Chains A and B, each alone.
Chain A
């Protein structure tokens, strides 16, 4: 009754529900991840969740903010999950903890907390990890049936927390470079794309197993589109740009440049298109701006993947485009009702 003013009605949607739906949309991808690579990813997700909530609570306390309402908004959880999905599941436990804590404490709260971060916190965490701990960031799991050996769940747990492998199993036997990384290394050895893709780690479109996980994220993306949590602008234009750029190179020299669909289903392209670039806080608010943002990210992803020094370009593409957001938004203001030429405050006359 204290604050009683119009409008007196509102939709029951909450930030917490939106974030929860995004978490739900990640489930198909995670399920396929477990199916193809074993349950280690669940360990990283759990570690990331606990660290995210703990850091969030700590930072809120340090900043004298109410803890409960913000912990319940699920945004920290989402950051943790996205980071966990971006780094190798077999990485030592402290890697995900350090990464998540950095994401939440620095990339989110030092910028002012929920709604104020300029950069996608999960991608900042990823960038910090890949720059600081490049060796640990290569422990990608080999999909079922492809490695010389396989670890059970207990074995994976033991390795994550204690760094100990069962007797007779070497790290190389259970991990491998990502399909994108393998492609890059082999191309440098002057093998042709066709030769490389004949390797057993590649499936129909891209990496065995990882292409299915990407498919899972695509499925989740459709859910987000259907529930209007995200608009089509960013995923369509991002994937479109990636496809067109890759397609042009592929047409010019198919022996050296891999087909566009390989790019779609490799690395973090699908995760990025639907879950990372679409983070409302760090992406443009205007529709036109979203198009520019996504196109830029698509182009940068391709360039880094193909010509850059990192195996995947998604994270840096996101961060680079995040920097441009304020400028993009300023120059893509849609025209206001009754004003044909957009933001023209100077012409505004009031009686």
Chain B
């Protein structure tokens, strides 16, 4: 029996998982229309490589990975691309993003699929294949999986000892990993072996919370059948036990250093569903086209669906029959999930759960009272923070203090808000403080950059002035020298000419300098390529900038919370 460790704090919210595990995973029927965003992963959006009107096959690449942190996007079924344009997506900002609209032809006609023998491939080949298969972390953070396998190369000193499969699924309501483990354990185990092979990890631990006895049994059976030396570990059920840092702590006793990565301590974590996708990619040549989505909450038929990426959320909700008083939806769990925009949005790779919500199910909290420093938040904080102090600093906008008290070690799990008797929306305060700090740092960087540029320009102008003066002085000297010693000139033919203009040379030099200066100024005022643009072009630029900012934000949050 493995020794398990504890992390500080944690809570036991009502799990509400049994509702959606009564029946097996259902295949959601092919929807009439699929909307496939080109950014479903952390990092740069994929670049569209198809056009409206193109006919595509199931599994055909439609979005090429673009940039270091990026992943591929595929057509989830065969059909016709009818548009590539901005559509609302499941993002708290409610900003639209570039999506492909696909009208299925119903034939489910596949591209040729090629299984590969991963044992006879190089790690680079395998990583490239995962990148081109669009495999990203399905625990919610959707970080490209190939990069998590590549960290090994970035830190050659750090060998990966332990590969951990995260089947904890600690958030209430969500059961997609549970059901996947119950029904497809053998594939997950094979996927784990593939990941282990690439990482060259010594041991593989599969952590599952003990409120999923069927999943544990299924995984144990699958490991036994496979003959692989993996260990399925039943861990105590406690939220947030499935958060990567806490999971690693429970299974190994090691703490991922603050602002560090699991690889720093020789551990790498993958979600069980990611492992399953890796298996499909290698053993069947199938890119990531679908995922298991729990549809639960205020619905008549809570259950798990295997849904194609791009399936409209309302189609799934309709399958589960949302109750009439449903007035909003949550993507993810009730602790860390985000409200879905009121407009129709598609299922993406990050959509592990859709919760239909109503005031009956999630009664609005009473108005917040002042903090009474009861320290319940500190007692449950899995990052060992002092949430009441951080709240105090965030509220009084003492961001420096908040940072000093480790604000950025907060994983935003929401345990503090959950127990707060004053019902203060603590996590919102931390998010606010973090975004303010990030914004200030960006502003500061921009200002520093501008100041440096300005200083350099001043320096350059000064230097040029000096150089010109020196040149002038040198020439005048030369002229004087020529005037004084005309007889000694080695080239007599040129001497007269020189001597002729000599009296005026200083004036001429000055005129020349003035002309040069005017030219320089004119050059400086030449329109740059970003000026004099049409409004349309400007809008495009603004859009691109917004997207970049969005990606940066995503990448940043990814690095802070490498989930899975």
Contact among A4, A281, A348 for B406, CB-based, below 8 A: A348
Pairwise interchain contact B559-A351, C-beta atoms closer than 8 A: yes
Pairwise interchain contact A336-B383, C-beta atoms closer than 8 A: yes
Docked complex Cα distance between A17 and B423 (Å): 13
Pairwise interchain contact A349-B259, C-beta atoms closer than 8 A: yes
A residues near B418, Cβ cutoff 8 Å: 7, 9-11
Contact flag A338-B257 (CB < 8 Å), given A7-B418, A13-B421: yes
Pairwise interchain contact A338-B256, C-beta atoms closer than 8 A: yes
Pairwise interchain contact B245-A338, C-beta atoms closer than 8 A: yes
Q: How many residues of A contact B (CB 8 A)?
A: 42
Contact among B337, B364, B369, B383 for A337, CB-based, below 8 A: B383
Pairwise interchain contact A339-B370, C-beta atoms closer than 8 A: no
Query: Restricting to A299-351, which residues have a CB under 8 Å from any CB of B?
Result: 329, 333-339, 343, 345-346, 348-351
Question: 1/0 per position for B400-439, CB-CB distance to A under 8 A?
Answer: 0001111011000010011111110101100000000000
Question: 1/0 per position for B128-155, CB-CB distance to A under 8 A?
Answer: 0000000000000000000000000000
Docked complex Cα distance between A330 and B305 (Å): 51
Contact flag A115-B556 (CB < 8 Å), given A5-B339, A348-B259, A348-B406: no
Instruction: Indicate if B388 sits at the interface (CB-CB under 8 A).
Output: yes
Pairwise interchain contact A333-B365, C-beta atoms closer than 8 A: no
Find the A residue at minimum CB distance from B414. A7
Contact flag A115-B370 (CB < 8 Å), given A1-B328, A333-B386, A351-B559: yes
Instruction: Indicate if B327 sits at the interface (CB-CB under 8 A).
Output: yes
B residues near A338, Cβ cutoff 8 Å: 245, 255-260, 383, 409
Contact flag A18-B421 (CB < 8 Å), given A7-B336, A10-B365, A343-B405: yes
Find the B residue at minimum CB distance from A347. B258
Query: Restricting to A18-55, which residues have a CB under 8 Å from any CB of B?
Result: 18
Instruction: Indicate if B372 sits at the interface (CB-CB under 8 A).
Output: yes
Find the A residue at minimum CB distance from B555. A351
Pairwise interchain contact A345-B372, C-beta atoms closer than 8 A: no
A residues near B172, Cβ cutoff 8 Å: 9
B residues near A343, Cβ cutoff 8 Å: 404-406
Q: How many residues of B contact A (CB 8 A)?
A: 64
Question: 1/0 per position for B297-337, CB-CB distance to A under 8 A?
Answer: 00000000000000000000000000000011010101111
Docked complex Cα distance between A13 and B418 (Å): 10
| A288 smallest CB distance to B (angstroms) | 12
A residues near B375, Cβ cutoff 8 Å: 280, 285
Query: Restricting to B1-46, which residues have a CB under 8 Å from any CB of A?
Result: 7-8, 13-14
Instruction: Indicate if A131 sits at the interface (CB-CB under 8 A).
Output: no
Pairwise interchain contact B405-A345, C-beta atoms closer than 8 A: yes
Docked complex Cα distance between A1 and B364 (Å): 8
Contact flag A5-B421 (CB < 8 Å), given A10-B365, A338-B245: no
| A137 smallest CB distance to B (angstroms) | 29
Query: Restricting to A70-111, which residues have a CB under 8 Å from any CB of B?
Result: 70, 73, 75
Docked complex Cα distance between A147 and B374 (Å): 43
B residues near A8, Cβ cutoff 8 Å: 330, 334-335, 337, 357, 362
Docked complex Cα distance between A326 and B188 (Å): 52
Contact among A7, A75, A280 for B427, CB-based, below 8 A: A7
Instruction: Indicate if A14 sits at the interface (CB-CB under 8 A).
Output: yes
A residues near B362, Cβ cutoff 8 Å: 8-9
Instruction: Indicate if A3 sits at the interface (CB-CB under 8 A).
Output: yes
Contact flag A5-B425 (CB < 8 Å), given A338-B257, A338-B409, A339-B406: yes
Pairwise interchain contact B258-A10, C-beta atoms closer than 8 A: no
Docked complex Cα distance between A70 and B366 (Å): 13
Main secondary structure of the interface of B (DSSP, over half): loop
Instruction: Indicate if A114 sits at the interface (CB-CB under 8 A).
Output: yes
| B139 smallest CB distance to A (angstroms) | 16
Contact among A5, A11, A285, A336 for B409, CB-based, below 8 A: A336
Instruction: Indicate if A132 sits at the interface (CB-CB under 8 A).
Output: no
Docked complex Cα distance between A75 and B372 (Å): 10
Docked complex Cα distance between A343 and B423 (Å): 27
Pairwise interchain contact B371-A115, C-beta atoms closer than 8 A: yes
Pairwise interchain contact A337-B7, C-beta atoms closer than 8 A: yes
Pairwise interchain contact B255-A337, C-beta atoms closer than 8 A: yes
Instruction: Indicate if B346 sits at the interface (CB-CB under 8 A).
Output: no
Pairwise interchain contact B409-A339, C-beta atoms closer than 8 A: yes
Query: Restricting to B168-210, which residues have a CB under 8 Å from any CB of A?
Result: 172
B residues near A11, Cβ cutoff 8 Å: 418-419, 421
Docked complex Cα distance between A327 and B22 (Å): 55
| B259 smallest CB distance to A (angstroms) | 5
Contact among A7, A75, A350 for B417, CB-based, below 8 A: A7
Pairwise interchain contact B384-A13, C-beta atoms closer than 8 A: no
Contact among A10, A69, A116 for B367, CB-based, below 8 A: A69
Docked complex Cα distance between A4 and B374 (Å): 25
Contact among B373, B414, B421 for A281, CB-based, below 8 A: B373
Find the A residue at minimum CB distance from B371. A115
Instruction: Indicate if B385 sits at the interface (CB-CB under 8 A).
Output: yes
Query: Restricting to A144-175, which residues have a CB under 8 Å from any CB of B?
Result: none
| A334 smallest CB distance to B (angstroms) | 6
Contact among A13, A15, A350 for B259, CB-based, below 8 A: A350
Docked complex Cα distance between A348 and B14 (Å): 35
Instruction: Indicate if B281 sits at the interface (CB-CB under 8 A).
Output: no
A residues near B406, Cβ cutoff 8 Å: 336, 339, 343, 345, 348
B residues near A350, Cβ cutoff 8 Å: 259, 408, 560
A residues near B260, Cβ cutoff 8 Å: 338
- Among A3, A280, A335, A337, the most chain B Cβ lie within 10 Å of the Cβ of A337
Pairwise interchain contact A115-B372, C-beta atoms closer than 8 A: yes
Instruction: Indicate if A6 sits at the interface (CB-CB under 8 A).
Output: yes
Pairwise interchain contact A337-B373, C-beta atoms closer than 8 A: no
Instruction: Indicate if A113 sits at the interface (CB-CB under 8 A).
Output: yes
Instruction: Indicate if B292 sits at the interface (CB-CB under 8 A).
Output: no
Contact among B245, B336, B370, B403 for A348, CB-based, below 8 A: B403
Instruction: Indicate if A286 sits at the interface (CB-CB under 8 A).
Output: yes
B residues near A18, Cβ cutoff 8 Å: 372, 374, 421
Find the A residue at minimum CB distance from B249. A337
Pairwise interchain contact B373-A14, C-beta atoms closer than 8 A: no
A residues near B382, Cβ cutoff 8 Å: 337
Docked complex Cα distance between A281 and B375 (Å): 10
Instruction: Indicate if B234 sits at the interface (CB-CB under 8 A).
Output: no
Instruction: Indicate if B476 sits at the interface (CB-CB under 8 A).
Output: no
Find the A residue at minimum CB distance from B265. A338
Question: 1/0 per position for B230-266, CB-CB distance to A under 8 A?
Answer: 0000000000000001000100000111111000000
Instruction: Indicate if B105 sits at the interface (CB-CB under 8 A).
Output: no
Instruction: Indicate if B378 sits at the interface (CB-CB under 8 A).
Output: yes
Find the A residue at minimum CB distance from B369. A15
Contact among B327, B374, B384, B423 for A280, CB-based, below 8 A: B374
| A233 smallest CB distance to B (angstroms) | 11
Instruction: Indicate if B338 sits at the interface (CB-CB under 8 A).
Output: yes
Question: 1/0 per position for B538-564, CB-CB distance to A under 8 A?
Answer: 000000000000000000100110000
Contact flag A334-B556 (CB < 8 Å), given A14-B366, A116-B370, A280-B372: no
B residues near A285, Cβ cutoff 8 Å: 373, 375, 378, 386, 388-389
Pairwise interchain contact B339-A113, C-beta atoms closer than 8 A: no
Pairwise interchain contact A281-B372, C-beta atoms closer than 8 A: yes
A residues near B14, Cβ cutoff 8 Å: 9
6 shortest interchain CB distances as A-B pairs: A345-B404, A7-B414, A115-B370, A338-B258, A337-B383, A8-B334
Offer 8 A-B interface pairs, CB within 8 angstroms, sorted by A: A1-B327, A5-B427, A6-B338, A6-B414, A7-B417, A337-B7, A337-B409, A346-B404
Known: A285-B388, A346-B404. 16 other contacts (CB 8 A): A1-B364, A6-B334, A8-B362, A9-B13, A10-B419, A15-B422, A17-B421, A115-B371, A116-B370, A280-B372, A335-B384, A336-B385, A337-B8, A337-B255, A337-B385, A338-B257
